[in-house]
């Protein structure tokens, strides 16, 4: 059967429950409770040592552990979202609840949720927010104690699961469950088996007890404190550890404050069923159990309906409801599946379950890489042989072996090429076939590329000596620039520019140091109007300007003043229109 271990870690005390069996009929294997000694220098180490010693002494199995932490570190909020899918809710939950948690940086908290109701496509959520630092501190304490919890929850959710396991939560009634801790009190309202509200009262049984004070030790366990069947023996009720340090006045003040807060909870609760009772567990405070809160009686949580045929049970196990609820939740029972490790180590132990498949996969991957390396090596050797052959053939074709009287195709090979080949392609004695010594900085392919680069460099040098240097740019052609302007003028035709009378045209090449070359074309022309309208004539030469500016070779224009010509025909005379042309940008004319 599966075993689960529930552990509550409070500021000054811990309680532990071990269950076996199934969630419907759990068996209490063992339980224990202990005080956490205070050490200002190393509080985590001191608590871990006490917890480790208790687990070792009672031989508690810690393979399937769930931990409940103090509810005072948590904040509870209600939230309505227009969605019901859990995965979708998780993706937007932090953004939606951030405005309701002004005391926290949303990136520094873990947010968990419980779906209270789902109506259509909308959900009513009860959200729990806990700082990551508190979770990390609990994980560090557990690690020092020698185990790692699979899950972490708050006292508020654990007490709900304990109440469900104890049989309090029927479908036709409502109740309030309360856990009195050392420095805080967790409260949950359950209606019809569903959790309606959760809150934390920032006062506990040891609120007025100094942290560094000496707490009384738990009574030593004796054989009289256990029953033979593993159940709890009947012992006289006594105040839990630490409460004895309170004065009567202080204890009465604590009880009065708790009753006032419980009255607020009862009055604010909106339940479909009538509140049946307020069930209290944890530290015992005189005057709390048996009181009446707005007509709702306060009762003790009592014992759990669990089989105790195995193991030994701690005498105070009846007050360890939170640890019991945590163990029950880890066993698969309870009503709330809280998960505060969703962003930390939520699936602790998953790697151990995957170790064998991962090992086999890694072995197969290494084998595949080994074979792939063999294939690549064989392919590389084949390519290397081909490159060696190409290199030898290239050298034999160009220079061959002059010492043996074999001339190559290059009658006068350049010295730089000849030296490189001699240093790169030296023959090793006794080798068959001949093996070429590598150029230290290049492989075989790069040697071929280097030989080609040397040949091209020599070809370029000879071209310069013969006056065939293509890097020397020719001056721009004034005739070509004038032709480009005239082609633009006459290609437009009469329909675009009207009738044009060209009086004069001139083209001058200009070159200045530090500036680009250019050609300036000067035109004197008359743009006539077919309707004897100066407006139409003006529109004709402006269309010519627009067509010039569209050309890729156009740089700028400097139009001079215009004159109106009247006589047989009316037109506009432009005596000095200058157009700057860059012939290098003119498109090539295909023949």
What are the φ/ψ torsions at residue 547 (nearest 5 degrees)?
-65, -35
**281 CA to centre of own chain:** 42
pTM: 0.55
- Distance between CA atoms of residues 441 and 450, nearest Å: 11
- Write the burial class of residue 475 (CB in 10 Å: 0-12 exposed, 13-18 middle, 19+ buried): exposed
Tell me the CATH number for domain 478-585. 3.30.70
Tokens 């769930």 correspond to 66
Nearest to 564 by CA among 512, 529, 588, 589: 529
Omega into 487 within 30° of 0, i.e. cis?
no
Is the Cα dihedral 426, 429, 434, 439 positive or negative?
negative
Same fold, 3-210+236-348 and 478-585: no
> How many Å separate Cα 57 from the centre of its chain?
43
The one-digit pLDDT tens for each residue of the chain (591 residues) are 578 899 999 888 888 888 888 888 888 888 888 888 877 678 788 888 888 888 888 788 888 899 999 999 999 999 999 998 888 898 888 889 999 999 999 889 999 999 988 888 899 999 999 999 999 999 999 999 989 898 999 999 999 998 888 888 888 889 999 999 988 999 999 998 899 999 999 998 888 776 654 444 433 433 333 333 333 333 333 334 334 456 777 888 889 999 999 999 999 988 889 999 999 998 888 889 999 999 999 998 876 544 443 434 444 445 688 999 999 888 888 888 888 886 654 444 445 557 788 889 999 999 999 999 999 999 988 888 888 888 888 888 887 776 777 777 777 788 888 778 777 655 444 444 444 555 667 777 888 888 889 888 888 888 888 877 666 677 888 999 899 988 888 876 667 788 888 889 999 998 877 777 889 999 888 888 878 788 888 888 888 888 888 889 888 888 777 888 877 788 888 888 889 998 888 887 665
Distance CA 132, CA 151 (A): 14
Q: In what order do the strands lie in the sheet with 13-22?
A: 25-35, 13-22, 3-9, 65-69, 151-154
Does CATH place domain 3-210+236-348 in 3.30.420.380?
yes
**Contact in structure between 555 and 548 (CB atoms under 8 Å):** no
Q: What sign does the CA torsion over 568, 571, 577, 580 have?
A: negative
Contact 298, 261 (CB under 8 A): no
The 8 Å CB, 24+ separation contacts for 42-49 are: 44/137, 44/140, 44/141, 44/144, 45/144, 47/9, 47/14, 47/141, 48/141, 48/142, 48/143, 48/144, 48/145, 49/144, 49/145
| Tokens found for residue 64 | 């399937």
| Extents of the domains making up the chain | 3-210+236-348, 355-465, 478-585
Mapping DSSP to helix (H, G, I), strand (E, B) and coil, where does residue 294 land?
Answer: coil
Q: Distances in Å between the alpha carbon of 359 and those of 349, 355, 377?
A: 16, 6, 27
Residue 190 structure tokens: 């359950």
């Amino acid at each position: 059967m599966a075993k689960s271990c529930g552990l509550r870690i409070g500021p000054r005390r811990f309680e532990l429950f071990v269950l076996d069996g199934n969630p419907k009929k759990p068996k209490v294997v063992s339980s224990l409770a202990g005080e956490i000694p205070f050490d200002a220098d190393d509080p985590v180490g001191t608590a871990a040592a006490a917890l480790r010693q208790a687990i070792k002494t009672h031989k508690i199995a810690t393979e399937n552990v769930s931990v409940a932490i103090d509810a005072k570190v948590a904040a509870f909020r209600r939230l309505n979202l227009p969605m019901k899918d859990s995965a979708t809710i998780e993706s937007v939950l932090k953004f939606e609840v951030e405005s309701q948690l002004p005391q926290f940086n949303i990136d520094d908290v873990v947010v968990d949720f419980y779906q209270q109701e789902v109506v259509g496509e909308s959900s009513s959520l009860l959200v729990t927010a806990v700082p990551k630092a508190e979770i990390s501190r609990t994980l560090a304490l557990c690690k020092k104690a020698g185990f790692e919890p699979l899950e972490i929850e708050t006292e508020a959710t654990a007490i709900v699961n304990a109440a469900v396991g104890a049989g309090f939560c029927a479908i036709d009634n409502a109740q309030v469950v309360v856990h009195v801790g050392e420095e805080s009190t967790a409260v949950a309202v359950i209606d019809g088996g569903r959790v309606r509200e959760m809150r934390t009262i920032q006062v506990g049984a040891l609120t007025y007890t100094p942290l560094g004070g000496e707490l009384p030790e738990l009574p030593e366990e004796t054989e009289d404190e256990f029953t033979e069947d593993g159940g709890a023996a009947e012992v006289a009720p006594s105040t839990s550890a630490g409460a004895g340090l309170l004065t009567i006045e202080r204890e009465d003040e604590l009880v009065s404050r708790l009753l006032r807060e419980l009255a607020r909870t009862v009055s604010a609760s909106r339940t479909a069923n009538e509140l049946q009772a307020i069930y209290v567990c944890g530290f015992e405070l005189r005057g709390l159990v048996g009181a009446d809160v707005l007509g709702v009686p306060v009762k003790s949580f009592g014992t759990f309906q669990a089989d105790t045929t195995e193991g030994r049970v701690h005498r105070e196990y009846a007050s360890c409801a939170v640890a019991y609820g945590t163990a029950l939740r880890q066993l698969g029972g309870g009503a709330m599946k809280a998960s505060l490790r969703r962003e930390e180590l939520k699936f602790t132990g998953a790697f151990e379950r995957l170790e064998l498949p991962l090992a086999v996969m890694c072995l197969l991957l290494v084998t595949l890489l080994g074979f792939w390396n063999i294939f690549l090596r064989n392919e590389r050797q084949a390519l290397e042989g081909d490159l060696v052959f190409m290199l030898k053939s290239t050298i034999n074709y160009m220079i061959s072996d002059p010492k043996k009287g074999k001339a190559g195709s290059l009658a006068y090979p350049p010295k730089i090429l000849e030296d490189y080949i001699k240093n790169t392609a030296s023959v090793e004695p006794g080798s068959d076939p001949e093996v070429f010594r590598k150029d230290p900085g290049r492989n075989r392919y790069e040697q071929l590329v280097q030989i080609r680069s040397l040949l091209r460099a020599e070809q370029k040098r000879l071209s310069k000596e013969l006056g065939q240097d293509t890097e020397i740019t020719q001056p721009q052609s004034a005739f070509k620039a004038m032709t480009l302007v005239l082609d633009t003028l006459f290609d437009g035709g009469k329909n675009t520019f009207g009738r044009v009378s060209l009086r004069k045209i001139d083209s001058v090449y200009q070159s200045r140091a530090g500036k680009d070359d250019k050609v300036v074309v000067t035109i004197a022309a008359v743009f006539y109007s077919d309707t004897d309208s100066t407006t139409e004539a003006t529109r004709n030469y402006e269309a010519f300007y627009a067509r010039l500016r569209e050309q890729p070779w156009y740089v700028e224009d400097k139009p001079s003043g215009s004159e109106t010509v009247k006589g047989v025909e009316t037109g506009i005379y432009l005596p000095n229109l200058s157009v700057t042309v860059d012939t290098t940008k003119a498109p090539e004319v295909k023949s």
